[in-house]
Structure 1
Amino acid sequence: MTAIDRDSGLAVWRQIEETLAEEIRSRRWTEGQRLPTEAELSQRFGVNRHTLRRAVSALVDRGLVRVEQGRGAFVRENVLEYLVGQRTRFTENVRRANRSASGRLLSFKRMRASKDVAEVLRLTPGTAVLQVETVNQVDDRPLSVGAHWFPAKRFPDFQEVYDATHSITRVMEHHGIPNYARAVTKVTARMPDVTEAEVLGQPRNRPVLYVEAVNVDPDGVPVQLSHVRYAADRFQMVFETLSEGAKYFEGD
């Protein structure tokens, strides 16, 4: 049992809050980890559940903990601030936050473009395209799962380069497109399906951000259509409409 000083003048629930907050800061409990149950924590501190719940509620207000109904309390993940502008690069966004970026290939297919994909990529329906499904990770934890389409003719070495680099940016550079740009980004929120929740390592009752995007080459020709699902509680999308616009939020 963890001792509580009932004569300190500091409320019991506040002492519990500070104890758990310090354990989170010292990484006794890591990002995304579930805290012990209410019953276990109540027994540890020798308090009733009402007192324990007040302490947990304070941790939620501080942004240290999130509570999922029916599942318990979890250490809140550090949210990645993801800059979206004309130059949107996953690895650059992650490294800017001093975190580690990685990616892996789920599937790679050569197929004929559907009417919808062909329209976005300005191709004739039935033209060969590459459909690529990837998982992007931050600090070895999945952040997003995405489906991407590319004109097959422009990327003959796509799979080999991606397998070697795990980077779509490197694939673009290899094929002579070092300066591709984001033309449009559309964002909606929805609940994940079974596969998305499993890949992202999250429950189905927690929403994802569904992002549709088109990248173009320096001549404005579309080279990539993406449909990406992001774990919403690990991710904050920042839209930069002026150069270095994110600086206006420095200090927030």
Structure 2
Amino acid sequence: MMQNETDVLQIKTVDRYNQEKLYIQLTRIFLEEITASRWGLGQKIPTEEDLCRKYAVSKITVRQAINNLVSDGYLMKFQGKGTFVTSVLPVVGLSMRTRFTEEMFGEEVKVEKEILFKGIQAPPEDVRAYLKTEDSIYFVLCKRTVNGEPAYLDESFIPYHMLPGIEQIDFTHDSLYYILQEKGLKKIFKVIQTIEVLQAWGESARYLDITQGVPVLAVHRLLLSSDNTPVGYTRFLGRSDRYKFQTEFERIR
């Protein structure tokens, strides 16, 4: 006797005896709901509470699965309205990975990160324009040294309320990208990157131990959520004699 569709749907659940993490299993189940059109294009998906009850998993597990599909472009969250299906097609694109000096030269290079400043600070006007917010801006300034010599400065600007508990976060060991993905109210979906050559002046020149006006490589990154809300802005200022920037692109299949 053949099972009807309802019976088949009841079988689709997480396997707690499987070594694969529950949120990965749940991501696959949710994706099947989308590709089979049970969650139709433009349709609002069930609430986190409903999904928790249906699959007998925690809200964290449901949220991780949903965030995976938001990052892949299948779903989009709208504040106060819910999460909606925005694509039913597989994602084909490019992933980007950047590598800095310490990763390019290997273990023989000693790289250290020093926090020079962190706290609320009025940002430059161009940064305020990038972030499109009247919220207070939290500023983190770090210096990277290679074998004891200054290599580059790392400036991060984050809307204060975008990252709960920001005052207690240790920026020494983790990147802003990782911190926002783990703890931010909105996850990073898109990065707009600009590279240019600037002249170093003032404190930037002093921290990098170079003469005022010497050219440096500047890498700007605007971090956006799936609904195009700016969640952060970073700028790297690197000495051209000690700093190398490499970007790798890999096709997502």
Q: Which gives a bigger RCO, structure 1 or 2 (Cα 8 Å, sep 6+)?
A: 2
The TM-score normalised by the length of structure 2 is 0.49
TM-score (norm 1): 0.49
